[in-house]
Chain A
Amino acid sequence: MDEKHFEELWEQEERQGLQRRLQQEYPAWQQRRRVRRTALASVAVVLVAGFSIFNFHFSTPKSYDSVACNRSGIAEGHWAAEASRILTIETL
């Protein structure tokens, strides 16, 4: 322990002491602060997820708008590839 180290610990304790006092004296405000921070974090997560989905849908170059099939388990791109391939077969 030297003087500098003691000063650091003192300031740290002073800050934490102050927070503890705020928590005790204004519990409602502390709760409100926690809710706000959680909400902000949730919005950030939603935005990141939304951006990822948006990016996946619109930045991937596709040769079609949408695909429907009466059987499940067949990749969308397969049918666009088939539509393209059949056009080639006829000419060759």
Chain B
Amino acid sequence: MKRLLLILMPLMLLACSHEETELPLYQRYAPRTDLTVAQVKGFQIGDTLKTDVVLLVADDSAAWAELKAEFDIRTSEGVTSWMGDIDEPARRVKRSVRPAWRAMAVHADRTVAFYRIDIEEQRQALLDYQMKTIENKQ
């Protein structure tokens, strides 16, 4: 009986556990008290493709102004997007550079979202994801 429990318990713990590794970008901003920071690992962007996402949400207008300055966001409405360096997302890089962050700053929500791009297929899948959402809405 003890043997059975010894075999079953680790198996169940294994089944219930899941990967909780924190992304460096998340780790960098998580201690900030003026931001709500989240990471979504393995965000499904296609039938077989996934990516990691980091979201930074400014709690107030002062924090948003600071975040905008930090990421050199000069516009004040709509959505500002750019391809950012994987280690320094504020630094703009060419569309072909890999790995990179596809960053989107939404002024109305005081949010910056970063989608990790490791391969061209992921960039394409993000575009397809957007197109599919629009088609579904129409």
A interface residues, Cβ below 8 angstroms from B: 36, 39-40, 43, 46-47, 50, 53-54, 57-58, 63-71, 74, 79-80, 82-84, 86-92
Contact = CB atoms under 8 A, between A and B. Distances in A.
22 contacts: A36-B1, A43-B1, A43-B4, A50-B15, A50-B16, A53-B16, A64-B44, A65-B41, A66-B19, A68-B22, A68-B41, A70-B32, A71-B36, A74-B38, A79-B40, A82-B38, A82-B111, A83-B55, A83-B113, A86-B113, A87-B115, A91-B131
A91 B131 CA distance: 8
Given A43-B8, A65-B19, A82 B41 contact: no
A63 B50 CA distance: 9
Contacts of A89: 79, 104, 106
Contacts, number: 120
Given A57-B16, A68-B39, A92-B134, A83 B53 contact: yes
Nearest to B126: A87
B18 interface: yes
Chain A CB within 10 Å, residue with most, of B9, B40, B55, B81: B40
B130 A91 contact: yes
A68 B39 CA distance: 5
Contacts of A92: 134
Give the 6 A-B CB pairs with smallest separation, nearest first: A65-B42, A70-B30, A50-B12, A69-B38, A79-B38, A83-B53
B38 A68 contact: yes
A54 B15 contact: yes
Contact of B18 (A66, A69, A71, A79): A66
Contact of A88 (B1, B15, B19, B130): B130
A46 B37 CA distance: 36
A67 B104 contact: no
A40 B2 CA distance: 11
Interface string B1-15: 100110011001001
B10 to A, nearest CB: 11
A39 B79 contact: no
